[in-house]
Structure 1
Amino acid sequence: MTPIEFAKKHGLEVASEGEGNIRDISGIYCCDLLSMVMGRAKEDNALITIMGNVNTVAVGVLADVSCVILCEGIRLDDACLQKAKDQEVCVLYSQASNFDTALKLAKELGLCS
């Protein structure tokens, strides 16, 4: 499932499409401590977080995640959003909690029932 497919199916807002139509989500990494994300997130994971700043975009690039999903209504400011677009990072906005968003995605990926 691509990030854009997940967003459409579950009502997430696409803030930056990036490569969201061409990359598949292979797994999920939930964390708000960006130094941990850098060392532990795997390529093509969806990064689920509430950390909505330019460092999150940079870590998304470094970790080569398929998308960054900001939860709890958190949004990037205009400069951060432009950086995400420039770097072709797919950024989605969810009103739900990290847990609820991750659970929906885990079910879609067949990681749980």
Structure 2
Amino acid sequence: MKLSEIIEACKFTAVHDEYDDHDVGDAYTSDLLSDVMAHAPDGSALITIQAHKNTVAVAALAGVVAIVICNERPIPDDMIVAARDERIALLTTGENQYTVSGRIYTLLAE
């Protein structure tokens, strides 16, 4: 499924617009960045509350194409710059990780 379709279906807010509309085949939910490095599938969306630039660095290393920040966490400017530089979509939502994980799972299972 295209990233743009997930963004629209889940009503995520894109923090910047300098990312590619990748095909997303999987998602990974974690707040432990070492876990993300070890287990997030390439081409996946990361669902987390870790709103800092290190999350972007780990996502880039793992081949993650989108980061969904849950619970309306504020996004620092340096994280936005890093995501823009890496062309990783940075998305926000007021929903919690459980709900977002379920929504994306349902979309990708169709």
Residue of structure 1 in register with 2:78 after alignment: 79
Would you say 1:93 and 2:97 are equivalent positions? no
Asked if 1:43 is matched to 2:42, the reply is yes
Paired residues in the alignment total: 110
Tell me how far apart the structure 2 counterparts of residues 107 and 47 of structure 1 sit (CA, whole Å). Answer: 16
1:98-113 equivalences in 2 (<5 Å): 98-110=97-109
After superposition, the Cα gap between the structure-2 partners of 1:70 and 1:42, relative to the gap in structure 1 and judged at 3 Å, is: same
Identical-residue share of aligned pairs (%): 27
Per the TM alignment, residue 20 of structure 1 is displaced from its structure 2 partner at its CA by 4.1
The C-alpha deviation readout for 1:30-52, integer Å capped at 9, x for no partner, is: 00000110011110111100000
- CA-atom RMSD, angstroms? 1.4
What is the alpha-carbon distance in structure 2 between the residues aligned to residue 80 and residue 66 of structure 1? 15
What SS class does the counterpart of residue 73 from structure 1 fall into?
coil
Q: Secondary structure at the match of 2:46?
A: strand
Q: Distance in 2 between matches of 1:50 and 1:71?
A: 5
Mark the runs of 5 or more structure 2 residues left unpaired by the alignment: none
Give the Cα–Cα distance (whole angstroms) in 1 for the partners of residues 7 and 62 of structure 2.
21
**Larger deviation, residues 67-76 vs 47-56:** 67-76
TM-score, normalised to structure 2, is 0.92
Which aligned runs of 4 or more in structure 1 are off by greater than 4 angstroms? none
What is the alpha-carbon distance in structure 2 between the residues aligned to residue 20 and residue 98 of structure 1?
A: 23
Counterpart residue type for residue 87 of structure 2: E
Q: Which runs of 5+ in 1 are unaligned?
A: none
Give me the whole-angstrom Cα distance separating, in 1, the residues matched to 2:13 and 2:23. Answer: 18
Q: Determine the C-alpha separation between the residues in 2 that align with 1:71 and 1:20.
A: 21
Is the 1:2–1:25 Cα contact (8 Å) retained in structure 2?
Answer: yes
Matched with 1:8 is 8
Distance in 2, matches of 1:92 and 1:34, equals: 18
What TM-score results when the alignment is normalised by the length of structure 1? Answer: 0.90
